[in-house]
Chains A and B, each alone.
Chain A
Amino acid sequence: MKAIVCVKQVPDTSGVVAVKEDGTMDRAAMATITNHDDLAAVEAALRIKDATGCKVVVVSMGPPPAEGMLRELLAMGCDEAVLVSAREFGGSDTYATSQILAAAIKKIGVEEDDVIFCGRQAIDGDTAQVGPQIAEKLHVPQVSYVAEITVEGKSVTVKRLLEDGYMTIKVATPCLLTCVKELNPARYMSVGGIMECYQKPLEVYNYETLKDDPLIDVDTIGLKGSPTNVYKSFSPPVKGAGMMLEGADKAAVDKLVGLLDEKHII
């Protein structure tokens, strides 16, 4: 078998979020990281590699600097990397992105006992749509919110997180799993891994590479092929000064609960 892991390079939203004059996020001014859920997916694939010796291929769609992230994943122990990068792919929404990634995965080749991994969602777009849409386009079964994985031959048994519990699902391969970051903490790169990572194969798939796939069409990729378009972005209003409620009685508590309810906090 082999594991194919879809990863995204995202701005680091844990620190200061840089905003441009027009209110949109200033991605160039922010540090980039590998999306947390995707790192959990990479770790899941690497653990299967540790146990079975399978090959792990990471694939990412993004601008050329995303190559740096892919090298880091190779330094963690992944075997091959594919960067899907072209002007034509820019501005894609989840539909177009999954269209392109599905084509890239077909190009890598999906065999009978392969497993495709994605993160649950990316911290920048927050949609959680791309994984399931790739599965649809590849016509493979999918399980989302995966928090535990056991591979047995041509099937995979996973624990799928629900709001109030979990379900155990057995799914035939090839299949696609979207992983939550709680699945497992990602390992460190190793010094030896960093020494070797520039010798490992990293292929770039551009428009030319993928254009013959029926999924790739001017009407299905990039900004033009996206059914949805972001019309406006703006920063949420900054919270004003705090409010003090007088009294330590039931009336004050009722007032507090009422205010929290009004803001949909409770």
Chain B
Amino acid sequence: MVLTEKQQMLRKLFRQFAETEFTDELLDRLEETGEFDRAIHDKMARCGFLGVKIPVEYGGQGGDSLAYAMMVEEFARVSPVLSIYANTSNSLGAGPLLYCGTEEQKRNYVIPVAKGEKILVFALTEPGAGSDAGGTLTSAVQAGDEFILNGRKTFISGAPFADYAVVYAKTDPSQKGSKGISMFLVDMKLPGVSCGKPEHKMGIVGYPTSDIILEDVHVHKSDLLGPLHKGFSTAMKTLDGGRLGMAAQAVGIAQGCLDASVKYAKERKQFGKPIAKFQAISFMLADMATEIEAARQLVYSTAVRKDAGDPESAKLCAMSKLYAAEMCNRAAYKAVQIHGGYGYIKEYKVERFYRDARITSIYEGTSQVQQMVISGSLLK
């Protein structure tokens, strides 16, 4: 796809920011402490990155899905975990609100999220309801002007430091599966809301993930998001956009792997010459570069078609995520292989990329769920 001057300028900005601000010192600190770094989050907010594709009237920058995908890609190329910092507010955070929030809800919640003043997370997964999100057990029972929520959400990215969560709960137990589910805006400071301990993850360390536990949490009916009993379709729509972002993240990680591998293959000598001179190595580089470019073009064109309202966009987002995530894992494998023994040592960045890559084929819908979406669309 040929980028316009404006799109090239955006890419230049994202690249410049990532290469300048995501210092080795910062990345090592995130890895060692596993904690959320407020300073870099706030710096991203000042540059407008948290609201890249949020409309200007709701505090965002008014960019499109392509601008958002390029941002996540360029950030992930340097730091997959920091790409999540800028991703959440743009996709799973503001997404459900922009799809079906009332004007008042958008003003109250989207504006501070777009500006990075508040953090809003997406709480769908439960211990017993992962790929089968329709198996949600968290309940919300109406009592007068309030809903009383009970249940447990798991693997919620950003939960330990979030201000609000969009929580999916069953409001009509008589309806089966994905029906009868509603969406609520839950203030994390409400009585009865607590978080589990942050999980020790294989990768993307530095963006804490934990359970959210809801025990008789009273949520006012004005915080019901969208129509009663019909929250699930909004979750799925939000996930389309999120999937595109995660596909872009996978492209960025793979590109980071390729950059490191090309550099190393030219420097490292064995048998009297740089290892890049061996076809077994150079062909791996060629395969990586080709697959990355294929994934990138799929992501970019999907972004443009999604914004244009293409009816195929749910399928295209699933294809982007499936292909980019699997490609990213192959690229990370090859990057470690090209680095040899050194690639297994933490000082070499491909080791971190390799671990970070692994989540891309799991979260926001596993590769198998993407295959279900794609085949479902083909066979309907």
Binding site for B on A (CB under 8 A): 68, 71-72, 75, 188-192, 194-195, 197-198
Also in contact, A195 and B5, with CB within 8 A (given A188-B17, A188-B47, A190-B48): no
Query: Residue B9 at the A interface, CB < 8 A?
Result: yes
Q: Which residues of B contact A194 (CB under 8 A)?
A: 6, 9-10, 13
Q: Which residues of B contact A189 (CB under 8 A)?
A: 9, 12-13
Q: Is A190 touching B61 in the complex (CB atoms < 8 A)?
A: yes
Q: Which residues of A contact B9 (CB under 8 A)?
A: 71-72, 75, 189, 194, 197
Q: Is B63 touching A191 in the complex (CB atoms < 8 A)?
A: yes
Q: Is A191 touching B10 in the complex (CB atoms < 8 A)?
A: yes
Query: Residue B247 at the A interface, CB < 8 A?
Result: no
Q: A192-B61, A195-B63 are in contact. List 8 more A-B contacts (CB 8 A).
A: A75-B13, A189-B12, A190-B61, A191-B61, A191-B63, A192-B48, A195-B6, A195-B61
Q: Once bound together, how far apart are the Cα atoms of A75 and B11, in whole Å? A: 13
B26-66 contacts to A, CB under 8 A, are 47-49, 52, 56, 61-63
Binding site for A on B (CB under 8 A): 5-6, 9-10, 12-13, 16-17, 47-49, 52, 56, 61-63, 67
Q: Is B61 touching A71 in the complex (CB atoms < 8 A)?
A: no
Partner of A195, one of B12, B17, B49, B62: B62
Q: Is A192 touching B56 in the complex (CB atoms < 8 A)?
A: yes
Also in contact, A190 and B10, with CB within 8 A (given A195-B61, A195-B62, A195-B63): no
Output the least CB separation between B50 and chain A (Å): 10
Q: Which residues of A contact B52 (CB under 8 A)?
A: 191
In chain A, what residue has the closest Cβ to B13? A189
Q: Which residues of B contact A195 (CB under 8 A)?
A: 6, 61-63
In chain A, what residue has the closest Cβ to B8? A68
Q: Which residues of B contact A75 (CB under 8 A)?
A: 9, 13
Partner of B13, one of A71, A188, A198: A188
Helix, strand, loop or mixed for chain B's interface? helix
Q: Which residues of A contact B17 (CB under 8 A)?
A: 188
In chain B, what residue has the closest Cβ to A72? B9
17 A-B pairs within 8 Å (CB atoms) are namely A68-B5, A71-B5, A72-B9, A188-B13, A188-B16, A190-B13, A191-B10, A191-B13, A191-B47, A191-B48, A191-B49, A191-B61, A191-B63, A192-B62, A194-B9, A195-B63, A197-B9
Q: Once bound together, how far apart are the Cα atoms of A72 and B9, in whole Å? A: 7
Q: Once bound together, how far apart are the Cα atoms of A192 and B114, in whole Å? A: 12
Q: Which residues of A contact B61 (CB under 8 A)?
A: 190-192, 195
Q: Once bound together, how far apart are the Cα atoms of A215 and B264, in whole Å? A: 56
In chain A, what residue has the closest Cβ to B20? A188
Output the least CB separation between A125 and chain B (Å): 25
Q: Which residues of A contact B56 (CB under 8 A)?
A: 192
Q: Once bound together, how far apart are the Cα atoms of A189 and B9, in whole Å? A: 9
In chain B, what residue has the closest Cβ to A76? B13
Q: Which residues of A contact B12 (CB under 8 A)?
A: 72, 189
The 10 closest A-B pairs by CB, nearest first: A191-B61, A191-B48, A192-B61, A189-B13, A190-B48, A194-B9, A192-B48, A191-B52, A194-B10, A195-B62
Output the least CB separation between B40 and chain A (Å): 14
Q: Which residues of B contact A192 (CB under 8 A)?
A: 48, 56, 61-62
In chain B, what residue has the closest Cβ to A68? B5
Q: Which residues of A contact B47 (CB under 8 A)?
A: 188, 190-191
Q: Which residues of A contact B67 (CB under 8 A)?
A: 191
In chain A, what residue has the closest Cβ to B48? A191
Q: Once bound together, how far apart are the Cα atoms of A192 and B13, in whole Å? A: 12
Output the least CB separation between B90 and chain A (Å): 11
Q: Once bound together, how far apart are the Cα atoms of A190 and B48, in whole Å? A: 7
Q: B16, B52, B61: which has the most chain A beta carbons within 10 Å?
A: B61
Q: Once bound together, how far apart are the Cα atoms of A68 and B4, in whole Å? A: 12
Output the least CB separation between B22 and chain A (Å): 13
Q: Which residues of A contact B13 (CB under 8 A)?
A: 75, 188-191, 194
Q: Which residues of B contact A68 (CB under 8 A)?
A: 5
Output the least CB separation between B229 and chain A (Å): 37
Output the least CB separation between B65 and chain A (Å): 14
Q: Once bound together, how far apart are the Cα atoms of A71 and B10, in whole Å? A: 12
Output the least CB separation between B18 and chain A (Å): 11
Q: Once bound together, how far apart are the Cα atoms of A72 and B48, in whole Å? A: 16
Q: Which residues of B contact A188 (CB under 8 A)?
A: 13, 16-17, 47
Q: Which residues of B contact A71 (CB under 8 A)?
A: 5, 9
Q: Which residues of A contact B10 (CB under 8 A)?
A: 191, 194
Q: Once bound together, how far apart are the Cα atoms of A156 and B191, in whole Å? A: 57
Q: Once bound together, how far apart are the Cα atoms of A72 and B6, in whole Å? A: 9
Output the least CB separation between B301 and chain A (Å): 21
Q: Which residues of A contact B6 (CB under 8 A)?
A: 194-195, 197-198
Q: Once bound together, how far apart are the Cα atoms of A72 and B10, in whole Å? A: 10
Q: Once bound together, how far apart are the Cα atoms of A191 and B13, in whole Å? A: 8
Q: Once bound together, how far apart are the Cα atoms of A68 and B9, in whole Å? A: 9
